[in-house]
A and B are shown apart, each in its own frame.
Chain A
């Protein structure tokens, strides 16, 4: 069968609305969520799900480390350090990480967003190195 290119008054190919009509869209956007308690050290890190978009993580004494296996190309992973018990930081170790070896959070209510590029996890949001934009009071 010959391939057909759709055209309309908006031009050639599908418009954004036409693309939307072909997909399952949640309005508003709602992500899948897992609750995780971190593991005791690098060797006992809790593996984050690669089939759930968001991981809400609790750290406490002897519960500080999580790991993240490779995803599929284009996969988004959001990691939120929801609760920090005591002075126990969160250490995230992706199997393959483009920017370094680990991510560390030393405060609750922080998040980082990663996207798997086919070879490594890339930070796409949440990791902060800049100057204040939106200020929490």
Chain B
């Protein structure tokens, strides 16, 4: 069995940032997923319509990072089950025809649901092991993290 070794160099113990970079496969630029030549969404993106109400909400996939959600009359609600620790979910309100989008995570750190009343908006959530946390896009209108 190979012996575990700690790499050392003139920069100290362990890998330098440059050495760490060399070990990683980096997407340049970063791409969540792409579309094919016909414009069909890749398999890390789903497109869907909201459900009629909270009891008939459309479940967002836990196997794709990005959900593009369109809403219309009686097509307004989506739900989100628990993910795995560290999982990221990006929800884009891609198209709105006269009806808001209501997102209801099963477990949500910041409240009960998230509502969008305008298309072309997005929110990004991450599952912390217990709840979905908002990590980008949700805005309450007042300063949250304050820069001093």
Spell out A's residues near B (CB within 8 Å): 9-10, 15-17, 19-20, 22-25, 27-33, 51, 53-54, 56, 71-72, 74, 78, 80, 82, 99-113, 123, 125-137
Rounded to whole angstroms, the CA-CA distance of A125 and B125 in the bound complex is 12
Q: List the count of A-B residue pairs having beta carbons below 8 Å apart.
A: 170
Could you name 7 residue pairs across A and B whose Cβ atoms are closer than 8 Å? A31-B86, A78-B135, A101-B148, A130-B139, A130-B141, A132-B140, A136-B113
Residues of A within 8 A of B28 (CB): 19
Decide: B65 and A33 in contact? CB cutoff 8 A: no
Q: What is the minimal beta-carbon distance from B133 to any residue of chain A, in angstroms?
A: 5
Rounded to whole angstroms, the CA-CA distance of A127 and B135 in the bound complex is 10
- Given known A-B contacts A33-B86, A82-B133, A133 and B148 have beta carbons under 8 A apart: no
Q: What is the minimal beta-carbon distance from B78 to any residue of chain A, in angstroms?
A: 13
Tell me which residues from 26 to 76 in chain B have a Cβ below 8 Å from any Cβ of chain A: 26-28, 31-34, 36-37, 42-44, 62-65
Rounded to whole angstroms, the CA-CA distance of A111 and B88 in the bound complex is 13
Residues of A within 8 A of B31 (CB): 16, 19-20
- Point out the residue from A23, A27, A78 that lies within 8 Å of B65, measured CB to CB: A27
Other A-B pairs, 9, CB within 8 Å; known A105-B144, A109-B110? A29-B87, A30-B86, A31-B87, A80-B133, A101-B148, A127-B145, A131-B141, A136-B114, A136-B134
Q: In this complex, what residue of A is CB-closest to B103?
A: A134
Residues of B within 8 A of A110 (CB): 110, 134, 144-145
Q: What is the minimal beta-carbon distance from A102 to any residue of chain B, in angstroms?
A: 5
Decide: A23 and B25 in contact? CB cutoff 8 A: yes
Rounded to whole angstroms, the CA-CA distance of A17 and B33 in the bound complex is 8
Q: In this complex, what residue of B is CB-closest to A16?
A: B34
Decide: A30 and B87 in contact? CB cutoff 8 A: yes
Residues of B within 8 A of A22 (CB): 25
Tell me which residues from 89 to 148 in chain B have a Cβ below 8 Å from any Cβ of chain A: 89, 109-118, 121, 123-124, 126, 128-129, 131, 133-148
